[in-house]
Amino acid sequence: MPDTLLARMAGVFAPISTPFAWNEDVDFDALAFNMERYAASGLLGYLALGSNGENRSLTEEEKLSVLRSIVERKSKDQVVMAGATYDAQRDTERFLRQAADLGSDFGLVLSPGYFRKQMTDEVLFRYFSTLADSSPLPLLLYNAPGFCGVTLSPALVGRLAEHPNIAGMKDSAASGIENFLRFESESFHVLAGSANFLFAAMMGGSAGGTVSLANSFPELAVELFRLGKARDEQNGVVLQERVTRINQAISGPYGPSGVKAAMTLAGFKGGLPRRPLLPLTREQTEIMRCMLVAEGLIS
């Protein structure tokens, strides 16, 4: 495994989708099939139990089983972030200990959202900093107001970036990753949370990204990262426009259900989403298939 913090974060992470069978049980055979392909894809690593993993739809036992399956099937040089999404701090603390025991490398922590009106900067500073004090894993902050209704302020992130056990953040907000790139340092790295702005974020200093497009087309996401790393504006801008067009057609209107449909069309085992999410209709799937054919991604 890479031995520096930057080496463990500078790349593309796939936020692994949790495939469900027809009866909505976790399809561990499908997950194993996908992981075998991802292990040889050029991905730096994985986010287990994120929004694309339908974290909030899993039981605690399922969460740990999915995380175990991902850790056991990664290649030796790949990195695993374990997503922690709880409203009670003691539950987050317990999960981080379990994730460490299973062999995770980082914990990615989302803000509690149920009592969002009470989630002031001071409350959130205490939450994240005291989690980091006790966590056996280095933590990443997860700025995703679309999921929890809480936006991390630049002032809060700046304070938390100084904590020795907070290694960085994933930013999926529409407010602009440039608000956080000024905190990039040897001990704190900012990851883009969408393929839609991965190249621009890297040109601004981001270390890489955790992007849902990597579930279905990991090589495409990795190529965009490589152009960002090389600061190749001529080719990077062109590929970013293409990636954005593709990504918006996959996850933009459909979320995890669209990601799963694209995975299946690309030869992975996307499986079904768990209710109340619904799979794409035949018509929606055919529209996506035609788009992917036109983009030259499938035949």
Residues marked active site are found at 170
Residue 85 near residue 49, CB atoms below 8 Å = yes
- Orientation of helix 60-73 relative to helix 89-102, angle to 10°: 30
Structure tokens at 238: 């062109």
3-state secondary structure 222-258: HHHHHHHHCCCHHHHHHHHHHHHHHHHHHCCCCCHHH
Q: Angle 233-250/256-265 helices, nearest 10 degrees?
A: 110
* Six token digits for residue 262: 């694209």
